[in-house]
Structures are given as structure tokens and as C-alpha cells.
Chains A and B, each alone.
Chain A
Amino acid sequence: MNVAQFGVLEKDLLDDFQRDFPLVPRPYRAIAERLGCDEDTVLELLCQMIKAGLITRIGPVFAPHRAGASTLAAVAVPEDRLESVAALVSGYDEVNHNYEREHRINLWFVVCAPAAERVAEVLRDIAARTGLEVLDLPLEQAFHIDLGFPLQWS
């Protein structure tokens, strides 16, 4: 399955159910009723989309600053060390996002732990092991509640 093969049903599933997934005993049947198909079709399509990697999961998206402690960290890594430093950073269980970005400060990652002390400890540890300065950019205020994402198929 790929996006080019998407019909109306696939698009509606993604457009209408990034939020407000029904909290009822048979949510997939409730979705099917809204889309005018049957429960098995909804389940089958969602399984296929997950298998094809087009959606990562069906489920809750948690607000990270409530479920434990977290921060966004950034490091300016010399180009020739980027691969090894990135691997070192990704090696921490507490790192759940790690992106390379085009900038002098080129490695960006999220550190997440049950308690703030452990987050600080991971940052210190990365700084000590790499000899590089780690910028700690914790969230101070969120201005947008992530309600999903308009995919604009056209």
C-alpha cells in the first residue's frame, strides 16, 4: 500500500480520525458507521497502513511534559564526528527523538525520563563523553494543542 493508491476511504480515515477516536466499546465499528463501511474494512485498512508505515499507530498521543520530565537538547557537532556522536546520543533509552538538522547546531534530540534529575544527568553525561556543549532548551510554554494535521491531499 502507498499514498498513490489511497481512495476516499483511506483519506477520510486519516483526515477524520487523527483525533476524536471513539472512546466506546467498539470504536472501529463506530468509525465504520461514520464512513459508511464495515468494521472489518476499517480494521483491515488500518492494519495495512501500519504495516506500510504510513501511520505509526492508532492510539493516544501524550503531552510529554506531563508524563515525566523532558527537554529538547541541541549540540553543534563537527561534521566529521556527526555519525559517531549521533549514535552515542541515540544509544540512550531516554532519547526518543534524534534529528540531524541543517545548521551549525546540527544535532537535536529529546530527552525524556520519569524524573528531571535523570534528564539533567543524561545531558551532563553526553557533554562529558563527547566534550561538546549541550544546549538545554526545555519547554516553558506550549501554545498549540496538537489536534492532528491537515494533510491537504489535492
Chain B
Amino acid sequence: MSAPLTASADPALDPLDRRIVAATQAGLPLTARPYHALAERLGLQPGDVMRRMVRMLETGAIRRIGAVPNHYALGWTANGMSVWDVPDKHVDEAGRMVGGLEFVSHCYRRPRRLPQWPYNLFAMVHGRSRAEVADKVARIAAVLGDWDGGHDVLYSTKILKKTGLRIAG
């Protein structure tokens, strides 16, 4: 019998969690029983592997489990990092509004580095063309209204390196 699945308030990963992270970051095995295969490799019980992954989902250490699409290969070739200068006192509310837009894949607050870098809110926008990205950026600007103290869109022109995150097991 398996123990009940319980949420943990502590998001920290213990050494066993970290081994599961290390063993799955390149993907789950494409075999009928992937968690069993994983458990065998790690010397664990399949139920433990699944339970720990459920818990990591609940604590947010795992954002999601599923197919990770290669947007570029699927035709989503325009990738725009939109960056916004939002008043500090409004940036968190602005972030929640922009992050709530369904077409924004990532939305983060980051520090300004004046004078070189005045922007404190980042929102990633993808599209099949730059025109599509530009339309979406205009929608973000409309949502921000007066809080948009200046923005820019940095299109990626070349992916020079992209690997899964690596972490020691």
C-alpha cells in the first residue's frame, strides 16, 4: 500500500529529491512504466518516486510535468523578450496583470541597472511572426497604461546554447 500523498510546506529539496531532479531533467524514459524504470535506476520504490514528484509539484519545485515543445521547430520562430520600466510601487501588481495574460509565457521582476538598463519587468512573448509578437506587446502596453514608463522588445536572433538545467545529483 502506498502512503497518502501529502503536501509539504517546505519547498527545499532533500538529497533524494535532488537525485530525482538529476535523473529526470533530460526527460522521463519512453517506456510503458517510466517511474518504475526511474525507481530501478535510483534504487527506490516506484511509489516513492511518484510521491516525491507529486510533492515537488505541490511545493512548486516542479512547475509542470509534460511534453516540452520546441517552439522554434513548431513554427513559433519569433521570440520577443518585452521589457518594461514600471514604477516600483506598482511593479508587483503590474506583474500579476501581465503574467495573467494567456500569451505571456514567463513574467518576472528583475532589478534595474542604471544607467544601462532601466527596465524592471520582463514578459516573454512568442509568435509565428514579429508582427504577431508586436500585437501582443501592444496589448501589454494597453494593460499597463500609465504605468508603462518606457518599454522595448528584444527579439532573439540566434539561440547559441540551450540545454536543460544541470544540477548535481
Contacts and interface: CB of A to CB of B under 8 A. Distances in A.
A90 B159 CA distance: 11
Contact of B107 (A20, A28, A143): A143
A56 interface: yes
B143 to A, nearest CB: 13
A67 B11 CA distance: 10
Interface residues of B, number: 74
A54 B61 CA distance: 25
Nearest to A43: B30
Interface string A62-78: 11101110101010100
Complex A-B, nearest 5 residue pairs according to Cβ-Cβ distance, in ascending order: A57-B27, A143-B99, A144-B99, A143-B95, A19-B64
Contacts of A28: 30, 32, 34
A66 B64 contact: no
A121 interface: no
Contact of B117 (A55, A62, A135, A138): A135
A143 B98 contact: yes
Interface in B42-93: 46, 50, 53-54, 56, 60-71, 73-76, 81, 92
Contacts of A46: 30, 67
B73 A60 contact: no
28 contacts: A18-B67, A21-B67, A23-B53, A24-B50, A29-B32, A49-B67, A55-B70, A56-B69, A58-B27, A58-B30, A58-B66, A60-B25, A60-B28, A66-B60, A74-B117, A89-B160, A96-B163, A97-B163, A101-B154, A101-B156, A105-B116, A135-B113, A135-B116, A137-B111, A142-B107, A142-B108, A143-B109, A144-B107
Contacts of B26: 57, 59
Contact of B30 (A47, A60, A64, A97): A47
B100 A67 contact: no
Size bracket, chain A contacts: 35 or more
Given A14-B69, A114-B167, A144-B100, A63 B160 contact: no
Interface of A: 3, 13-14, 17-21, 23-29, 39, 43, 46-47, 49-50, 52-64, 66-68, 70, 72, 74, 76, 86, 89-90, 93, 95-103, 105, 108-109, 112, 114, 133, 135-151
Interface string B9-24: 0010100001001001
